[in-house]
Amino acid sequence: MIRTVIIEDEKPASRKLERMLGEFTDIEVVAKIESVEEGISWFSENEHPQLIFSDIVLGDGLSFDIFEKIPTKAFIIYTTAFDQYTLKAFKLNSIDYLLKPILDEDLGAAIEKFKSFIPSDNLVNSQEIKQLIKKDKTTLSRILVKIGYNLKIVQTHEVSCFYSENKIVYLQTQERAFPSDFTLDELEDILDDRKFFRVNRQFIINSDYIKNIHTSPNYKVELQFQPKEEITVSRDRVKDFKDWLVS
């Protein structure tokens, strides 16, 4: 059995996740934790599980605080509605990052990914975890954006480009541009680099939306949906850009 801990301060969300995990016959939930203080106490006094499902924003702080104080060899799947913590989550033994509301297929895929990391003897140390995660880097598939007082989930495959304007990073879709909480540097680390490429300091583009590429006098890209007429590829990025197009 895969010993599993749930860290979640909202009881309905915790119960729902426990029910979803109950569909997997090889997963046993051994503890449910509701706060940073309770988490530090539990991980100090108990054998660590193999897998942790953890919300990020708890009533008394961030769940990151638990694992920074009590290092763990467990794999962590973060579950949250706040996408601005994605980058930090990837650095703390995270093998996946599920945005709420959690979908059955996303949960199943995350568990399968976890199982693919576990060797036959079920032993793995902290350094091996980091190497395994690096080999199979989790990429961002969904982004939560704010529209007034409402929240909207945007799939990254719907985004033609990310761009910076007046110190705010926007994501462009067919519908409109939405502000995000990311920087372009952070997005470079967590987007699927098979699909997304940073052509200059201001733009990251999605290959699926390239409409035309002009090569004279400079490399300029035209997308199906973009905030201005042309996007110029920086001279020092042209070779990498051409390699990326055929990779």
Domain boundaries of the chain, sorted by first residue: 2-135, 142-245
Confidence of residue 134 (pLDDT cuts 50, 70, 90): very low
What are the strands, taking DSSP E only, across 66-214? Answer: 75-80, 94-99, 142-147, 150-155, 161-165, 168-172, 177-179, 196-198, 203-206, 210-214
Contact call for residues 134 and 151 (beta carbons, < 8 A)? no
Q: How many CA atoms lie within 13 A of 215 on its CB side?
A: 4
Contact call for residues 138 and 130 (beta carbons, < 8 A)? no
Q: Following CA atoms 88, 92, 97, 102 in sequence, which dihedral angle do they give, to the nearest 10 degrees?
A: -110
Q: Specify the CATH number of the domain 142-245.
A: 2.40.50.1020
- What mean pLDDT value characterizes the chain? 85
Q: Examine the pLDDT at 136 and tell me if it is beyond 50.
A: no
pLDDT of residue 24: 94
**Could you say which architecture CATH assigns to the domain 2-135?**
3-Layer(aba) Sandwich (3.40)
CB atoms < 10 A from the CB of 42, how many?
A: 18
Instruction: Judge if pTM exceeds 0.85.
Output: no
Query: In CATH terms, are 2-135 and 142-245 the same topology?
Result: no
Greatest Cα pair distance in the chain: 66
Q: Examine the pLDDT at 44 and tell me if it is beyond 50.
A: yes
If you average pLDDT over residues 121-133, what whole number do you get?
46
pLDDT one-digit tens code per residue, 216-247: 888 999 999 988 778 999 999 999 999 999 87
Q: Examine the pLDDT at 150 and tell me if it is beyond 60.
A: yes
Q: Which residue has the higher pLDDT, 57 or 53?
A: 53
Q: Which residue has the tokens 């945007």?
A: 154
